[in-house]
Structure formats: structure tokens, C-alpha cells
Amino acid sequence: MDVRSRNHVRVSGRPGGPVVMLAHGFGCDQNLWRLVVPALEREFTVVLFDHVGAGRSDLSAWSEDRYSSMDGYVDDVLEICRELDLGPVTFVGHSVSATMGVLAAARHPEYFAGLVLLAPSPCFIDDPAAGYHGGFSAEDIEELLQSLDANYLGWSGAMAPVIMGNPERPELGQELTNSFCATDPEIARVFARVTFLSDNRTDLAQVAVPTLVAQCSSDAIAPPEVGAFVHARIRGSQLITLNATGHCPQLSAPEETAQAIAAFARTLR
């Protein structure tokens, strides 16, 4: 299995510079970083990739068995690090990928110079017994899974043939609108379950590499308490709150986001 084509890995930026690896979350693909990348490329080697099932990853590599838990994605991240062999990287994980970064760094700290956890949430579902406020009830999450089902017809009919790649029908090869976030509905459903039903709160304490927790000032998905929780559980971590609003600061405030990543990565040299 060729890891680079499986995950559509792309390396750009300054050769030999410190390595920043950007991991997208649930919903879209590496395009999500496109406003941030130019600012980082001047100084860093930038590694982009798509999770298997997203973007231009090799969909034939997807199996429900491997990708129905966080471990399959974590294995992929570690395999990419091993394959590129660029030395310890600053791993920037957005949303669910922040959790993947936590798990990957716990397993192989030697691969990571540091972690940037962007709008992270180790557990989306409230746990009143533990006084944990994740922002959503179990019923809320069930509703999300249903809303994915509601787009099932549109996705499977209009999107799937495009993202499946149809060499014998070139007219389908053009990039359609919405294709950045187009996913096979079955894959989206499985990834949504991994994203929103996983509970990795206890894994945070395993992180032993320098970590920056960067949360947004008004985020409907990861409320400020969650950022504070992650910061409290990772020893020696820093917490910053970006002015960016929404859950995707790399789009709503790309300069601020790039600056935060770069400033942190510089301290790791």
C-alpha cells in the first residue's frame, strides 16, 4: 500500500525547514487549509493529507473495519510520518484530528516535536456525572447522524460517481461544487460516528510533547470549557483563544491561525 497516494499526501514549502503537518477534521479535506498554507510555506516544510475516505484519498483503501475507530486514522498518521521520514513534526490537528494527534503522540512521541490542537474536543457528549460539558447530548448527536442520512440521496446520486473517479466518463471528472466536502454517505456516516461518539478524555494525560491548545472565541462545536479541559489535562500545555469565530478558524481567520501555528512551531526548534 502506497501511503502517499492512499492519503493523497502533499509536501510543499521550504525544503529542510521545520515540518508542520496539517490534519483536517470531519467534513472536508486538506483544502480546508488552503488559506493557511501560503503563510506557513515560507518558513516550514508543510505536509498536507486527506484522511482515507475524504478528498482525493484512495477510496479503495477504506474499510469500515479499519476506519470505524480512531485507531485506523491514528495508524495512518503514524504511517505517513514513517513514510516521509522528515524527523519530528509539529502536528496541527483540527477538531477530531486533534484527538488523533493526541493518540499518535501518546504512542510514538518520538515522531512529534509538538502538537497544535485546533478547536479540539476529546468528547462531544456531556458527561454530567463527571461535571464534563462537551456541548452536546447523546440525542443531539443522534440527530446529526440522521441529518447525514437526509443528504443521503443527494450525495449518493450526484457526488459519489465524481469522487469515486470514473476514468471512462471524463465529464464526471470535473471538480463539482461542494466536492471538497463530498464524501460517500456510508463513509461520512462511519466517520461521523468516530468523530462524535468517541471519548478520549483519559488519553490526554498521555501526551508528553509540547502542546498548544488553540480554541476559537465562539465555536458552536467545541465550547470554551472544552478547550480549558484539554489544557488542564495535558501537562505543560499552553492555551490560547483565537479571535476567530466558528469551528474552522483556518477559514474564518487564516492569518491569525497561521501566526499562532508558526509562533508555536518556532519555539520547538
Partner 1 sequence: MMCRADGDQDSDPDPEEPPDDDQTFSALLEDSIEDLYENAPCGYLSTLLDGQIAKVNTTLLNWLGYKRTDLVGRRKFSDLLTVGGRLYHETHFAPLLRMQGTISGIALELRAADGSRLPVLVTSTVKAGMDGRPLLIRTTIFDARDRRAYEQELLRTRQEAERERERLQQLATTLQKTLLPPALENVPGLDVAAYYHIASIDEVGGDFYDLFPLAAGTWGLFLGDVCGKGAEAAAVTSLARYTLRAAAVYDPDPAAVLSNLNTVLYHEYDGTDPRFCTVVFGLLTPDGGQGGFRITLASGGHPPALLLCADGTADYLPTPGGQLIGVLPDAHIATITLRLDPGDTLLLHTDGLTEAHTAIRGERYGGEALLDFARTLAPTTAQGAVTAVRDLLDTFGTGVDDDTAVLAVHVPRADREEQQ
Per-residue contact flags (x/-) with partner 1 for residues 173 to 212, judged by CB under 8 A: ----xx-xx--------------x----------------
- Is the Cβ of residue 1 or residue 150 nearer to partner 1 in the bound state? 150
Exactly one of 144, 162, 197, 240 binds partner 1 (CB under 8 A); that residue is 144
Scanning 5-13, 54-62, 213-221, 224-232 for contacts with partner 1 by CB under 8 A, the matching segment is 213-221
Helix/strand/coil percentages in the chain, nearest 5:
50, 20, 35
Q: Which residue has the cell 443528504?
A: 151
Residue 121 CA to residue 135 CA, distance in Å, equals 10
Pick from 60, 115, 125, 68: nearest CA to 89:
115
Q: Is 147 in the site for partner 1 (CB under 8 A)?
A: yes
Site string for partner 1, 219-248 (x = CB under 8 A): xxx-----------------------xxxx
Residue 33, interface with partner 1 (CB under 8 A)? no
Could you say which of 198, 219, 231, 237 is catalytic? Answer: 219
Query: Looking at the chain, which runs of residues are DSSP E strands?
Result: 10-13, 19-23, 45-49, 89-94, 112-118, 211-218, 238-245
| 5 is an interface residue for partner 1 by CB under 8 A | no
Stretch that binds partner 1, among 4-12, 21-29, 160-168, 228-236 (CB under 8 A): 21-29
- Of 99-107, 165-173, 216-224, 231-239, the segment contacting partner 1 by CB under 8 A is 216-224
The verdict on 148 binding partner 1 (CB under 8 A) reads yes
From 95, 97, 198, 237, the catalytic residue: 95
Question: If phi over 0 gives left and psi between -120 and 50 gives alpha, with beta otherwise, what is residue 120?
Answer: beta
Footprint on residues 45-84 left by partner 1 (CB under 8 A)? none
Of 84, 78, 90, which is closest to residue 9 (Cα–Cα)?
84
**Site stretch for partner 1 (CB under 8 A), options 69-77, 79-87, 108-116, 151-159:** 151-159
**Would residue 247 show up in a list of annotated catalytic residues for this protein?**
yes
| Minimum CB distance to partner 1 smaller for 31 or for 99 | 31
Instruction: Give CA torsion, residues 144, 149, 151, 153, to 10 deg.
Output: 180
Dihedral of CA 254/73/237/46: which sign? negative
Catalytic residue flag (residue 219):
yes
Phi, psi of 203, deg, nearest 5? -75, -20
Q: Phi/psi of residue 265, each to 5°? A: -65, -35
Q: Could you give the residue numbers annotated as active site?
A: 95, 219, 247
